[in-house]
Structure 1
């Protein structure tokens, strides 16, 4: 086993499924102990719960903590759970939801739910971790935005708003927390094959998939492991002088359109 994250502890929200699950597994193979903070324990895509999979396939330790990221106290509890392993070194604010909408038809309930999960959850997840990291002389916070946070889309207006907010929050957090040795960066995934794109948006596995893929210079959809590799870089010492950055993981789609 390699050791890019040996003796590190990572808290990852939304890590039962999708990109979060891939990040948790990747970090664990590099030596990190993991707190899986998610509203449900069972992976949406099926299979063993993430913490059980990590325990069986790596030498790292992992625990599951039920966490609704719209609750500040539950986010605090998730970060506190890292104390079992020595305290949080890496915080990944990954939990989020997607909603396709038409601007003139968005209701207040939909808007509030999107903002509460995607933006409020990221803000207070980062805050909870940063409070501990200040006392520990630093750490890495990784916020999951999206290519939708870089450019607008008529069909995903509320989602774009939340992901754009995460991008700017990341820049502001990096400026605020840098003197305390805390790095804050954002990852902007493009089309990634998860249950979000197979079920929630229904792109993958449909006739629309070919059109999306042909717009990507790499000519393939991304996999959760692609996002996990990017997160590993930002979590590790390889990015020790990197903060306030947006790392785009989209096969070149955004910058070539």
Structure 2
């Protein structure tokens, strides 16, 4: 590896499993210290916890229990980066995925979607920005949106609304924080093979999903590593003039 993130510290919400875990691996490979902020330390997909993997790569890492709907816990996750010199990269990755007919959505379900997917990103970004400003440091904030936040989709109204909000929030923050040297960008993954798309809302591995895959120009489902490479770019100096961008990682499915 080239050490693209040597000396930097990244806080990753939802970092124990799925896409967040792979982002953490990629960052650790490139020399970043990690704060893994999640509801649990054990990966949903099984295997070695990210903190242990990262430490085996020679970087420092710590796990912080974090419910992103709790602003105090988000602040604690950002503060934990002080152990390694302070936050440089904030990845607001934690999120939930649900599908339901619009007329059947209950208020509690709407509130949960917005609390996790929007409030969690908003106040995660705020905690990181306040810390960076306090320390007089430049940094990168990466917010996980979705292709659903670009196009909308029947049966996924609350999810699409939440991810669309993340997209516009990211644009707004890029404008407000850019003059302070804090870049803010959004990633829009397509269908990525994780527990979220195989268990929470079973799409991948189903007959209907297999038919849908045929419409993806690259002819395959996305993998967490595909998203992690994009997140590495946005965290590194390679993207030093990239601010307010929506990075779509979907194999071409959105515009096919």
- TM-score band by shorter chain is over 0.9
TM alignment of 1:25-36, pairs within 5 A: 25-36=25-36
Alignment of 1:194 with 2:194, yes or no, is yes
Take 1:53 and 1:118, find their aligned partners in 2: how far apart are those partners? 27
3-state DSSP of counterpart to 1:117: helix
1:128 maps to 127
Alignment of 1:151 with 2:151, yes or no, is yes
Take 2:102 and 2:179, find their aligned partners in 1: how far apart are those partners? 40
2:225 maps to 225
TM alignment of 1:151-230, pairs within 5 A: 151-230=151-230
1:85 maps to 84
Take 1:126 and 1:61, find their aligned partners in 2: how far apart are those partners? 22
Q: CA deviation at 1:184?
A: 0.1
Take 2:172 and 2:226, find their aligned partners in 1: how far apart are those partners? 26
Gaps of 5+ in 1: none
Bigger mean CA offset, 200-209 vs 162-171: 200-209
Take 2:193 and 2:153, find their aligned partners in 1: how far apart are those partners? 20
2:241 maps to 241
Normalising by structure 2, we get a TM-score of 0.98
3-state DSSP of counterpart to 2:155: coil
Normalising by structure 1, we get a TM-score of 0.98
Bigger mean CA offset, 14-23 vs 200-209: 200-209
- 1:215-252 C-alpha deviation (Å, 9 max, x unpaired): 10000001000000000000000000000000000001
Q: CA deviation at 1:119?
A: 0.2
Q: CA deviation at 1:54?
A: 1.4
- 1:95-138 C-alpha deviation (Å, 9 max, x unpaired): 00011011111111101100000000000000000011123331
Structure 1 runs of 4+ with >6 Å offset: none
2:100 maps to 101
1:51 maps to 51
3-state DSSP of counterpart to 2:227: helix
Take 1:168 and 1:61, find their aligned partners in 2: how far apart are those partners? 33
3-state DSSP of counterpart to 1:64: strand
Q: CA deviation at 1:6?
A: 0.3
Q: CA deviation at 1:212?
A: 1.9
Bigger mean CA offset, 140-149 vs 206-215: 206-215
Gaps of 5+ in 2: none
Bigger mean CA offset, 137-146 vs 207-216: 207-216
3-state DSSP of counterpart to 2:243: coil
Take 1:155 and 1:110, find their aligned partners in 2: how far apart are those partners? 13
- 1:176-230 C-alpha deviation (Å, 9 max, x unpaired): 0011000000000001000011101111222123212111000000100000000
